[in-house]
């Protein structure tokens, strides 16, 4: 009989991340702007979200669905302006010693501007050092080669076998899905690498 895994404590998290900070989402963070992110053509294409317009009320319900224990929802905010620019979802499977992560940068001017990598650094330190998980995973549509190449440069491993395909919310076609993994040793090695050190130093300088 496998050992019983204790339920995780409810999390109220806040991480500095250079020009950004990452914190636990609150119901008051729901906004029509957030709802509009999910039907943006860019988001629909790279994440296969529904193209239909969503409402602020639906975002409130979405926030309420997270227990902030095994299912965490965190917001990405810009320092200074405190503008909400995106969010990260983290689904934890303590029994398997892994977590599944997905991120959305909703505001166009913050895409490819360091919001994802900056916030992933403290988040992954939390996952590996505090929660003591062994690996983190992400699912990426194969057509989203920009993200696949970006994560590969950061040290993520692209698993050779294909994940189960998903059906497009736009036209009903089957979309190829790839699984990417980053384990604790790989992340720690990346932090010590030249690119990791460069990004960490740049992030710390921006946070001063």
What's the pLDDT tens digit per position in 155-208? 899 999 989 999 999 999 999 999 999 999 999 999 999 988 998 888 888 877
Residue 8 lies in a domain: no
Residue 115 lies in a domain: yes
Band the pLDDT of 6: cuts 50, 70, 90.
Answer: low
Using a 10 angstrom Cβ sphere, with 0-12 exposed, 13-18 middle and 19 or more buried, the burial of residue 30 is buried
Residue 6 lies in a domain: no
Residue 128 lies in a domain: yes
**Cα atoms in the 13 Å half-sphere on the side-chain side of 48:** 19
Residue 167 lies in a domain: yes
Residue 120 lies in a domain: yes
Rounded Cα–Cα distance for residues 38 and 58 (Å):
11
Domain hosting residue 123, numbered range: 14-206
pTM equals 0.90
* Contact status, residue 24 vs residue 14, Cβ threshold 8 Å: yes
Helix (H, G, I), strand (E, B) or coil at 110: helix
CATH number where 152 lies: 3.40.630.30
Give the angle 33-178-161 at the CA atoms, nearest 5°: 165
């Amino acid at each position: 009989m496998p050992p019983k895994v204790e339920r995780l404590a409810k999390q109220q998290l806040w991480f500095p991340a250079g020009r950004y900070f990452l914190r636990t989402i609150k119901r008051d963070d729901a906004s029509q702007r957030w709802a509009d992110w999910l039907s943006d053509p860019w988001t629909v294409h790279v994440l296969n979200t529904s193209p239909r317009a969503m409402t602020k009320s639906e975002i409130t319900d979405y926030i309420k669905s997270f227990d902030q224990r095994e299912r965490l929802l965190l917001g990405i905010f810009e320092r200074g302006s405190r503008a909400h620019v995106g969010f990260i979802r983290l689904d934890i499977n303590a029994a398997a010693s892994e977590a599944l992560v997905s991120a959305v940068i909703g505001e166009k001017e913050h895409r490819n501007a360091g919001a994802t990598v900056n916030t992933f650094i403290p988040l992954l330190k939390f996952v590996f050092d505090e929660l003591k998980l062994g690996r983190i995973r992400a699912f990426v549509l194969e057509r989203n080669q920009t993200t696949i190449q970006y994560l590969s440069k950061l040290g993520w491993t692209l698993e050779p076998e294909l994940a189960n395909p998903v059906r497009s919310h736009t036209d009903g076609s089957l979309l190829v899905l790839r699984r990417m993994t980053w384990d604790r040793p790989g992340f720690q090695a990346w932090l010590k690498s030249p690119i990791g050190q460069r990004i960490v130093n740049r992030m710390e300088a921006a946070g001063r």
